[in-house]
Amino acid sequence: MDTSIRVGVLGAGTMGTGIAQVAAANGHQVIIYDNQSKALKNSRDHLNYILNRQIEKKRMTQDEVIAIQECITHSANIEELDRSGLIIEAVVEQLDTKKALLTKIEAIVPDDAIIATNTSSLSIAALSSAFKKPGRFLGTHFFNPAPLMELVEIVPGLPTSPDTVNLIRKLINGWGKTTVTAKDTPGFIVNRVARPFYGEALRILEEGIANESTIDYAMKKMGGFRMGPFELMDLIGNDVNYAVTESVFEAFYYDPRFRPSFIQKRMVEAGYLGRKTGRGFYNYDDNSLNIQPAHDEELLETIFYRILSMLINEAADAVFMKVATAEDVDLAMTKGVNYPKGLLRWGEEIGLSSILGVLDDLQDLYGEDRYHPNPLLKQLVDSNGSFFSTSDQRGI
């Protein structure tokens, strides 16, 4: 790992500060740039708090913390990033704002510097249009909190050079992260494949099949998920989760697989955003108001297989549409959102014919394209094949 590379981070928010911490912990000199003095102060304070907590928990020594702190500089002067070999942009998710900043930074840094964006939802191709030399630009999607989450999605744009991809993967892997490569499509891997975890749970709730706590209990008890979909939406924030769903739905030209839920929309409109407001799908101010889950084994199994089959179908579609390899899809879902197993191997473990049967039953019942089985899944069932065999592998 070449620690001589200077790293510039654009944006002093939680994500930018976290990425800076990761780079500094691996020996790089880092400058965090932001044009807001308050954001810079908050970044310094947050970083010091986090690092001091590591000392209290005996995860770091005082000397290790001091070494990280000495590697990080905060600045409101973008010109100070002129010697950076790597720039990672982590500002607000607005296309025009990002493009303006990326255009500015390209004129400042050396010609051989790599420039990356941490966007989770915007088109890399659209951002590439800001550059005179777009071959050195790509997406590096870290997950929050960046120092703890292992996954980074590497997203080349159409003009991105292979050398840029290879260099950034080597560097970020050297930081102890796990990188996967994704095509520049809406949601990349994780935010695309994970949509049914929320969407199908909301659909089950809308139909009155089960309440929130029962659906959550089914996914934890039957599948070993750490959190159920409603617990996770409350943790993420219903406003944030709904916005991502709406964005993916629009980006996929209103594909019914990604249709947002009216229930969640009403929650957002009512200000029931989850843990941060004390009320979401659960009441965090008065736990006695929360309904207990049903313990009907048949119901729990039905809920679990319905949601899991939809997840596996979406993972199959990501491979079929060459968004990523089967290995990278499974790696992304276990490392990026802590799923208990890779979805594609999980499907093969259960039996792809069983997964196809669940989807066929749902499509027969509802007659909606939402439940249409992916062609690759159907092909593998017909041929008794595997997502991971050479002949069936359809990734990038």
57 Cβ neighbours under 8 A, 6+ residues apart: none
Active site residues: 120, 141, 153, 191
360 Cβ neighbours under 8 A, 6+ residues apart: 373
Name beta bridge partners: 281.
none
225: left (phi over 0), alpha (psi -120 to 50) or beta: beta
Q: Identity (one letter) of the amino acid at 5?
A: I
